[in-house]
């Protein structure tokens, strides 16, 4: 009798069943023959990794890869989740060095509880922190040398192009934005996987990995890409940098209701409809994990019989025909999402350590200073002058933004540390004190 990945979802038995489950609902698969060879040989599990940079708070868009990971596990795959702390630091300082350690802890809490909430057996997952093997000890030294080797075989133009849809784009990008995609490619070798899984926005990095790794003697891997769901506001994907486009995993129920109530969901429009897409990629697959593989989504209506769906195609057709309307869809999505988020929120409220980590990882912005009477600046040459506005800026604070990065006169100092010793100390803490 087959065991299960969680709840009543049975493990796939034959190689054909496994391949079907692994590749289902993917927008694209690069080099599928690598996956086929391992699964058809049936000598060991297919090894896959999914990486997430520990930057802004994980939101409900993360359920898309999490639910796919559940299917990988059901297909008997070995799945590693990379908490990419160094990548968060490299991505235009989205994760300041002083906060990286706490954000790794926060992501571990959040992802574990979110997986449990959609009925995934988390005991079969392997969590890996990037800095553990990228920066420390003999492995870190070897990794650094391989990164230098890889950098000699990739042009700056190609590295920038690879990260263009993933790394935050600015007018004068730092060199770290080119290192980011090289490390993501190299991680495939150091994590010992057959395939990397990620959103379709990662495609250029995946292509770089396929082309560049063989140049320094490493095998190319397969790549599995899930589609990206639209944000709750018109245009764009669900993103930590736009609070109104996403719902955090630990948002209070009233915040969830408010965000969904104002979400972009025009009648008879299915393209770019973030609410309908959320049903397609999250709520229907999540319901299947609880219903022995059969998806089910129910929409209550005030003056008519409920609508029950097991297929997104039927939902889209009814929405286009105005049988299913926004005033019925939004409350149904709200109820279904709150049912999933309830256990996560409960765990957060009962776990003091997680709460403390949340405060340290994402400290609230400081209260705005009280307005003071403006003192006329007489300049630095005037007797008693203090250096004017420059001196005031030097003593300024930083402001924490919605996606977790900081801005202000001292933002760079906070993000990279005051010295190399500061950065090394932070990385040492990440690796549990290992040198």
Give, in order, the Cα–Cα distances in Å from 231 to each of 246, 363, 422: 6, 25, 37
pLDDT of residue 233: 77
Reported pTM: 0.81
With tokens 């490390």, the residue in question is 183
pLDDT of residue 165: 79
Angle between helices 352-361 and 97-117 (to 10 degrees): 140
For residue 375, give the H/E element and its range: none
273 phi and psi, to 5 degrees?
A: -85, 100
Structure token pair of residue 162? 């690879």
pLDDT of residue 121: 82
- The answer to whether 32 and 23 have CB atoms below 8 angstroms apart is yes
Residue ranges of the chain whose pLDDT lies below 50: 1-8, 380-396, 430-431, 434-435
Angle (nearest 5°) at CA 86 between 46 and 102: 100
Per-residue HEC secondary structure of 228-262 comes to CCECCCCCCECCCCCHHHCCECCCCHHHHHHHHHC
Determine whether 360 is exposed, middle or buried from the number of CB atoms within 10 Å of its CB (0-12, 13-18, 19+).
Answer: middle
pLDDT of residue 1: 34
pLDDT of residue 382: 41
Domains and CATH numbers, the chain: 4-226 (3.40.50.620), 243-360 (1.10.240.10)
Give bridge partners of residue 48 from the DSSP assignment.
79, 195
In a 13 Å sphere around the CA of 12, the CA atoms on its Cβ side amount to 22
Q: Going along 110-183, which residue ranges are E strands?
A: 125-129
Parallel, antiparallel or unpaired: strands 4-6 and 125-129? unpaired
């Amino acid at each position: 009798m087959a065991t299960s990945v969680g709840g009543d979802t049975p493990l796939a038995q034959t190689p054909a069943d496994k391949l079907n489950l692994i590749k289902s609902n993917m927008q694209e698969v690069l080099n599928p023959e690598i996956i086929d060879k391992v699964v058809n040989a049936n000598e060991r599990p297919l090894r896959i990794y999914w990486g997430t940079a520990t930057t802004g708070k994980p939101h409900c868009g993360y359920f898309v890869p999490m639910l796919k990971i559940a299917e990988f596990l059901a297909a008997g795959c070995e799945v590693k989740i990379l908490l990419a702390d160094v990548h968060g630091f490299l991505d235009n300082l989205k994760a300041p060095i002083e906060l990286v350690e706490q954000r790794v802890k926060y992501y571990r809490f959040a992802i574990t509880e979110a997986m449990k909430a959609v009925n995934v057996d988390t005991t079969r997952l392997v969590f890996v922190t990037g800095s553990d093997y990228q920066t420390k000890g003999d492995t870190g030294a070897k990794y650094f040398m391989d990164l230098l080797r890889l950098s000699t075989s990739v042009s700056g133009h190609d590295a920038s192009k690879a990260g263009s849809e993933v790394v935050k784009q600015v007018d004068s990008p730092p060199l770290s934005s080119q290192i980011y995609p090289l490390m993501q490619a190299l991680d495939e070798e150091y994590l010992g996987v057959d395939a990397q899984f990620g959103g379709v926005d990662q495609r250029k990095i995946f292509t770089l990995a396929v082309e560049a790794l063989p140049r320094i003697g490493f095998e190319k891997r397969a790549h599995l890409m899930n589609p990206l769901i639209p944000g709750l506001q018109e245009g764009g994907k669900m993103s930590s940098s736009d609070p109104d486009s996403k719902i955090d995993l630990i948002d209070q129920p009233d915040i969830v209701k408010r965000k969904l109530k104002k979400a972009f969901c025009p009648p008879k429009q299915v393209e770019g409809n973030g609410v309908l897409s959320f049903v397609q990629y999250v709520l229907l697959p999540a319901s299947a994990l609880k219903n022995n593989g059969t998806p089910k989504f129910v929409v209550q209506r005030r003056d008519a019989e409920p609508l029950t769906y097991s297929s997104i195609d039927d939902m889209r057709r009814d929405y286009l025909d105005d049988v299913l309307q926004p005033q019925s869809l939004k409350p149904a999505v709200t109820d279904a999402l709150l049912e999933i988020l309830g256990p996560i929120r409960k765990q957060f409220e009962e776990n003091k350590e997680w709460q403390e980590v949340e405060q340290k990882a994402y400290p609230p912005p400081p209260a705005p200073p009280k307005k003071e009477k403006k003192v006329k600046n007489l300049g630095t040459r005037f007797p008693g002058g203090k250096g004017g506005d420059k001196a005031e800026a030097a003593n300024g604070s930083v402001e924490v933004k919605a996606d977790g990065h900081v801005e202000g006169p001292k933002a760079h100092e906070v993000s990279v540390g005051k010295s190399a010793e500061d950065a090394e100390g932070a990385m040492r803490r990440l690796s549990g004190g290992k040198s």
